[in-house]
A = this chain, B = another copy of it.
Amino acid sequence: MRDNVINLRAVLPNGDVVKTGSRARKSAAGYDLARLIIGSEGTLGVITEVTLRLQKLPSHSVVAMCNFKTIKDAADVAIATMLSGIQVSRVELLDEVQIKAINMANGKNLPEVPTLMFEFIGTEAYALEQTLLVQKIATEHHGSDFVFVEEPDAKAELWKIRKEALWAGFAMKPDHEAMITDVCVPLSRLAECISTSKRLLDASPLTCLVIAHAGDGNFHTIILFDPSQEDQRKEAERLNHFMVHTALSMEGTCTGEHGVGTGKMKYLEKELGIESLRTMKRIKAALDPNNIMNPGKLIPPHVCI
């Protein structure tokens, strides 16, 4: 999304209303204040207006699904697809626990195995051409039951599986809370990172579901735990810590898209170094000297300038 933001209007802590750019698609006019404010989690100002770059709706799309014996095979297909240069519009990975949750919630009978879902867009011929190229890649990595649909209702029905995944996950244990992780690693390390994480998750007494925006190297684990059981919360935290440190050891990030808030502050120094955090704090102090905008968020309290 952030790449589609052309311009922002924001109210800064001192009351200044800033406009960060023009409506041109590209600009080299000064510091990129839009990108600085995006992802600053309310600590630098309040965004009041956003100018987005619009994209033409594709004339055609295809939705496809494929099953795999192992999550590594599924991740390898996502990697190979992205590296092939195919401009896949969406590639989502769901592990067998996630598929089981969908079966339970929606009365479906999907094979409970690691599954990839794709969307291909473009002209009719090109969307189909991409689909067949990816089908070939999937076959090379032990994929089975590759299906694809082009008719609007059938596409909506297939994507519904993905769209309802989170709620299906929550419904597995309605009295539990969910801790949701958000690591992102270089695409080339995704299969290794997911496989390593999955071994730990499978060995845990907690129910853990994996869902990945595999084309970005980003994956979430929904860790379900009973909030009244302190040992379960601790176990959830242990799993989360392990996955973050695994991602960081692979030059990844503790948060691909969900942000820092207070929960991820403790990982930032390892990921970015104290010098980066000091620089962020200097910028925060320059724009918000009285610390009135979302204080206590994003920049760890131990960082001094």
Contact = CB atoms under 8 A, between A and B. Distances in A.
Q: What copy number does this chain have within its complex? A: 2
A204 interface: no
Nearest to A43: B31
Interface string A271-297: 111011111101101110000000000
Q: Which of A18, A22, A187 has most chain B Cβ within 10 Å?
A: A22
A31 to B, nearest CB: 5
Given A123-B126, A218-B24, A58 B32 contact: no
Given A28-B257, A29-B253, A260-B28, A282 B272 contact: no
Q: Interface size bucket, A side?
A: 35 or more
Contacts of A286: 282-283, 285-286
Nearest to A55: B85
A243 to B, nearest CB: 13
Contacts of A246: none
Nearest to A305: B286
Nearest to A299: B30
A185 B205 CA distance: 58
Contacts of A36: 31-32, 35-36, 283
A56 interface: yes
In the A-B complex, the 10 residue pairs with the smallest Cβ-Cβ separation, listed nearest first, are: A56-B85, A35-B35, A286-B286, A23-B251, A24-B184, A16-B275, A27-B253, A126-B126, A22-B253, A23-B186
Given A16-B279, A30-B39, 15 more contacts: A18-B279, A19-B273, A20-B276, A24-B184, A24-B185, A24-B217, A25-B187, A28-B258, A29-B264, A31-B283, A32-B35, A36-B36, A56-B83, A123-B126, A285-B286
5 contacts: A16-B279, A22-B184, A24-B218, A25-B218, A285-B286
Interface of A: 2-3, 12, 16-33, 35-36, 38-40, 44, 55-59, 83-85, 87, 122-123, 125-126, 129, 133, 182, 184-187, 216-218, 247-248, 251-260, 264, 267-268, 271-273, 275-280, 282-283, 285-287, 298-299
